[in-house]
Amino acid sequence: ALRWLGALLLSITLAAPALAAGKHLINGIDANYPPFAYVDETGKPAGFDVDSMNWIAKKMGFTVEHKPMDWDGIIPALLAKKIDMVCSGMSISPERKAQANFSDPYWTIRKIFITKKGSKVTEDQIYNGKIKLGVQRGTNEHEMLQKAQAEKKYNYQLRFYDSGPMAIEDLLNGRIDAIGLDAAPAEDAMRKGKPVQEVGVFGSDEFGVAIRKDDAETMKLVNEGYKLLKADPYWKELQAKYLGN
């Protein structure tokens, strides 16, 4: 009977979301990445990932604070324990997995080429390096394009940018002819009236939440939280609000 009682107590403990009671977690975001993370007109962090994590925190019983920082410094900040997670349009990649763990994937995203609206630039010209192709430095797109080039699959003429919006600026100015990037931010720019168009697809990957390798507790909260979120009507609402689908 004692063993039975022990099993019962154990199952109660495991089922209790009170596991997280009082926990305060800091999410590092790159606020230059709408529709996943940005700062709204009132200066408040917003976006698909920000709202997702707010919902998860409430459900799982922790508080979350979204801290805007440079994309370049975001993994170093995680490793230095300045933040507890990165839920900010971050792709799961082999390079990053060597440094941190990732939650279960929560979103699949296409990698697309865009040009200025009305431009005659073709996908072939991009692959053959006939035109200048911009990409954000340190992204998985950067990694993917460079790998294809190293393998001599394609001969891209790459130009590197510190942020996505800066690349779009240069595309519209005519300093570059195309950009390789995540589909959702490009579609977001189109919805906001930026004169750009999609001309091809060069791959896809999955977004996950980066968490320190020694932090199994946060990992559990985040994975449990996404399971609940994905089963809730709010998940569809978020997609309609931020991703236009």
Cβ-based nearer residue to ligand ARG, 61 or 203: 203
Start-end of H helices in the chain:
2-15, 48-60, 74-79, 94-97, 123-127, 140-150, 164-173, 183-191, 216-230, 233-242
Q: What are phi and psi of 192, to 5 degrees?
A: -85, 10
Provide, rounded to whole angstroms, the least separation between the CB of residue 15 and ligand ARG.
34
Cβ-based nearer residue to ligand ARG, 177 or 205: 205
Interaction site with ligand ARG (CB under 6 A)? 30, 32-33, 71, 88-91, 136, 139-140, 182
Provide, rounded to whole angstroms, the least separation between the CB of residue 32 and ligand ARG.
6
Residue whose token pair is 């797109």: 141
Helix (H) / strand (E) containing 181: strand 178-182
Provide, rounded to whole angstroms, the least separation between the CB of residue 89 and ligand ARG.
3
Instruction: Identify any residues that bridge with 102 across adjacent strands, giving them in sequence order.
Output: 210
Provide, rounded to whole angstroms, the least separation between the CB of residue 74 and ligand ARG.
8
Cβ-based nearer residue to ligand ARG, 30 or 84: 30
Which one, of 143, 192, 146, lies nearest residue 165 by Cα?
Answer: 192
Return the half-sphere exposure (C-beta side, CA atoms, 13 A cut-off) of residue 55. 22
Q: Which residue is nearest to ligand ARG (CB)?
A: 30
Provide, rounded to whole angstroms, the least separation between the CB of residue 61 and ligand ARG.
27
Helix, strand or coil for residue 217?
A: helix
Cβ-based nearer residue to ligand ARG, 11 or 160: 160
Cβ-based nearer residue to ligand ARG, 115 or 139: 139
Helix, strand or coil for residue 222?
A: helix
